[in-house]
Amino acid sequence: METKIGVLALQGGVAEHLNHLNQIENVRAVAVKKPEELNSCLGLIIPGGESTTMRKLIKDYDFKKAIKDFNQQQKVIWGSCAGLILLAAEIEGENEEQLALLDIKVKRNAFGSQLDSFIEKDIIPKVSTDPQELVFIRAPLITEVAENVEILYQKEDQIAAVESEYIIATSFHPELTDSTIFHQYFIEKVKSLSN
Ligand SMILES: NC(=O)CC[C@H](N)C(=O)O
């Protein structure tokens, strides 16, 4: 059976996620530009980009309730970078409205403080036993994680990827690497909950 996945297409790295998803067998990825387009999707990716712009567009295009309802139907959402920021329950130093679907606290532009952007290679044990390229671009740091949130990856004391029952969130950008392994991990979670 085909698994249909939406990529929120308001701003940011939409094409790269679509391209990765479409390389996976039996997956069909669509750019979601209107809330009603979520209805036929089993999973959703909120891409990287600029979280302040995306937050405004989510409001302007009436996506907030639709995305929250989508997740309440036990459909999986993965937020990468700006997407992670929008999913977080709390953003340090900001009290703007966001989706707040994941019980974590984040600090924007704070991961690996020396450089704005960098690439690491490391193993994410739950995802693959091979080291993966981890691309960080002005990446958010996860500073607090609730008990119901599992840490998928951390470098020393810096948390960069987490997972809860219906959410995956990464500070880094698997869509900017040559590997589809993280997208496959996401698809497996989507499938396991949609049976
Ligand atoms: N690559 C990214 O998505 C960067 C996120 C950006 N720094 C923000 O705060 O929105």
Q: Is the CB of 82 under 6 A from ligand 1?
A: yes
Q: Is 158 helix (H, G, I), strand (E, B) or coil?
A: strand
pLDDT of residue 137 exceeding 70: yes
Residue 26 Cα to ligand 1 middle (Å)? 31
CA 32 to chain centre: 15
User: 85 CB less than 6 Å from ligand 1?
Assistant: yes
80 is in an annotated binding site: no
Give residue 194's pLDDT.
86
Which residues belong to the active site? 81, 173, 175
What distance in angstroms lies between residue 83's CA and the mean position of ligand 1's atoms? Answer: 8
Dump pLDDT digits (tens) for 58-104: 999 999 999 999 999 999 999 999 999 999 999 999 988 789 999 99
Q: What local confidence, expressed as pLDDT, does residue 95 receive?
A: 85
Q: What is the domain range of residue 83?
A: 3-194
Say whether 55 counts as a known binding-site residue.
Answer: no
Those residues whose C-beta lies under 8 Å from the C-beta of residue 13, and which sit 6 or more positions away, are 47, 48, 49, 80, 173, 175, 176
β-strands 167-170, 158-163 pairing: antiparallel
Higher-pLDDT residue of 173, 98: 173
C-alpha closest to that of 185 among 101, 137, 99, 124:
124
Q: Which residues contact 139 (CB under 8 A, 6 or more apart)?
A: 81, 109, 110, 111, 112, 160, 171, 172
153: helix, strand or coil: strand
> How many separate domains does the chain show?
1
Ligand 1 center to 35 CA (angstroms):
23
Question: Which ligand 1 atom minimizes the distance to the CA of 54?
Answer: 10
pLDDT digits (tens, 9 = 90+) for 101-133: 999 999 999 988 667 899 999 999 999 999 999
Q: How many CB atoms lie within 10 A of CB 3?
A: 19
Segment 17-47, tens digit of pLDDT: 999 999 999 999 999 999 999 999 999 999 9
Give me the mean pLDDT over the 133-148 stretch. 96
Supply the CATH number for residue 79's domain.
Answer: 3.40.50.880
